[in-house]
Every structure is written in structure tokens, then in C-alpha cells.
């Protein structure tokens, strides 16, 4: 199960199965799906945060469900936990306050930025159970870690500490103990201070052009620039700068 909490322009999703280290079961998958459907369709929500009830962030797939033959119920059209391959418009921050292993790491890799406490760790230990990481870990981990480090993690199944994750660029912010969520909220507020349409277009463009030729990126950027320039928010942002005041974004 999850806890869905709205805090102004933020939505906080808390994985809430502490007795199972927040492992993803079919019911949790359905609740995550409903939460993200709400986030995507509510224009008043600008940024989402996903975290876990201690002592773990997420232990991945519930192996009891897999043992019972319910593996397919942990996936839907949006991937594992209805999240790992979801097409989102809005930024998602992982507030990692404990181990994020197997599918837990794959959830983190599906997020846009990562805040982690010292107790956090990351890893895809599926090989230790004769399985493989099938929710994105095998092709996303080497995008954020050096390839040989990612291969070591994948083939040994051993975890990576939050400190090493930060050194390699997997973690954006190393928070103090118990402070992952407050630090994630502060980061979210830095994002929501900006124009919502500009943030969403910026995110989409960066994700869609990073591995494409510069010519493709330039063409996409020019088209997006023309669309943004025609918005009320763009006019408001320029006018607010000239008038030396904070902008009043409307998302139009």
C-alpha cells in the first residue's frame, strides 16, 4: 500500500509496507498507478516525490507474489510498479531513506533526480536469486554509473552505498539521517519556483535528445522555443524580470 499526500504544488507518494521493506505487490502497483494518474491530470501538482516508510525505501518485487505466480501483476503498461516506464510530464524526485534494491533501484532510476540519506544503498541483486533485473536496471544503471561499476553491481548483485552513488552521479543530494524527504521537498521547491511549462518542456527535451545527434536536438529545441515563446508564462517571466518582481505563473 501507499500513502498519497498533497502539499501545495507537491505530491508525496510513500511506499508503506514496512513489514515487507516496502516490497511491491500487486495491490501496491495498483495504488501507485492511481496516484500517478492523479498527478498527471492535476495541473495544480507540479512535482512529485516518492519515498518509503523506514527502514527501507523499497526492496523491489515482493518475492512471495512471484512465488505464487503473480509476477505479471507487478507490471502494467507503465512498467514495473506502474512506474519504471511511465511517460510522465512532471518531475519526479526519489527521496531514498534506506536500501533501494532490485526493483527499488529501478524505481530510483526512473526518477529525474535523487536525494539519499547515508543509510541508503542501491543495487540490482536479482542474480543472487537466479533472476535478472527486468524493470530497467540492466540498461539504465550504466547510463548513470561508469560501465565497469554498473557491470560489477549487476554481476555480483552487491549494493552501492549512497556515498559512492553520489561520487558517481547517481545521487544529486546527500542528506543527513532522517532528512531525505525534507531535502527532497526543498529541491522540489527550487523547481516549482520556475515556469511550469518551461520546466516540463526542458525535462522532455533533455530526456528525448541526450542520446540523439546535435542536429536533432537543435531542431527539437527550436520548435519548443517557438511554442514556449507564445505562452503567457513566457511573457510574464520576461515582464517580471524587467519589473524586478517575482513572476506569477499560471501554466498558460
Catalytic residue list: 106, 126
C-alpha distance across the termini of the chain, in Å: 35
Number of H helices, E strands in the chain: 10, 11
Task: Using DSSP bridges, classify how beta strands 2-7 and 10-15 pair: parallel, antiparallel or unpaired.
Answer: antiparallel
Dihedral angle sign, alpha carbons of residues 166, 148, 57, 83: positive
Q: Which residues contact 15 (CB under 8 A, 6 or more apart)?
A: 2, 22, 24, 28, 50, 51, 52, 53, 57, 58
Cα distance between residue 72 and residue 24, in whole Å: 12
Dihedral angle sign, alpha carbons of residues 110, 43, 24, 161: positive
Radius of gyration of the chain (CA): 19
Cα distance between residue 25 and residue 65, in whole Å: 6
With b for 16 or more beta-carbon neighbours within 10 A and e for fewer, the 9-34 pattern comes to: bbbbbbbbbeebbbbbbbebbebbbe
Cell numbers at 156, concatenated: 555480483
Residues counted in the chain? 252
Amino acid at each position: 500500500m501507499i500513502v498519497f499526500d498533497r502539499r501545495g504544488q507537491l505530491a508525496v507518494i510513500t511506499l508503506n509496507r514496512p513489514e515487507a521493506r516496502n516490497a511491491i505487490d500487486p495491490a501496491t502497483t495498483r495504488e501507485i498507478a492511481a496516484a500517478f494518474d492523479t498527478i498527471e491530470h492535476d495541473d495544480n501538482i507540479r512535482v512529485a516525490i516518492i519515498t518509503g516508510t523506514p527502514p527501507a525505501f523499497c526492496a523491489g518485487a515482493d518475492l512471495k507474489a512471484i512465488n505464487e505466480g503473480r509476477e505479471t501483476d507487478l507490471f502494467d503498461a507503465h512498467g514495473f510498479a506502474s512506474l519504471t516506464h511511465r511517460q510522465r510530464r512532471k518531475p519526479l524526485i526519489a527521496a531514498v531513506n534506506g536500501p533501494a534494491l532490485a526493483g527499488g533501484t529501478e524505481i530510483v532510476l526512473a526518477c529525474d533526480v535523487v536525494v539519499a540519506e547515508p543509510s541508503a544503498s542501491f543495487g540490482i541483486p536479482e542474480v543472487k536469486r537466479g533472476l535478472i533485473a527486468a524493470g530497467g536496471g540492466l540498461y539504465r544503471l550504466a547510463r548513470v554509473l561508469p560501465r565497469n561499476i554498473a557491470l560489477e553491481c549487476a554481476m555480483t548483485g552487491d549494493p552501492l552505498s549512497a556515498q559512492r552513488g553520489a561520487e558517481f552521479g547517481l545521487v544529486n543530494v546527500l542528506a543527513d539521517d532522517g532528512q531525505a524527504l525534507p531535502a527532497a521537498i526543498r529541491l522540489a521547491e527550487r523547481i516549482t519556483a520556475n515556469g511550469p511549462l518551461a520546466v516540463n518542456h526542458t525535462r522532455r527535451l533533455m530526456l528525448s535528445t541526450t542520446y540523439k545527434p546535435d542536429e536533432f536536438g537543435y531542431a527539437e529545441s527550436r520548435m519548443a522555443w517557438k511554442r514556449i515563446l507564445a505562452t503567457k508564462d513566457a511573457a510574464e517571466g520576461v515582464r517580471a524580470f524587467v519589473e524586478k518582481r517575482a513572476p506569477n505563473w499560471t501554466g498558460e
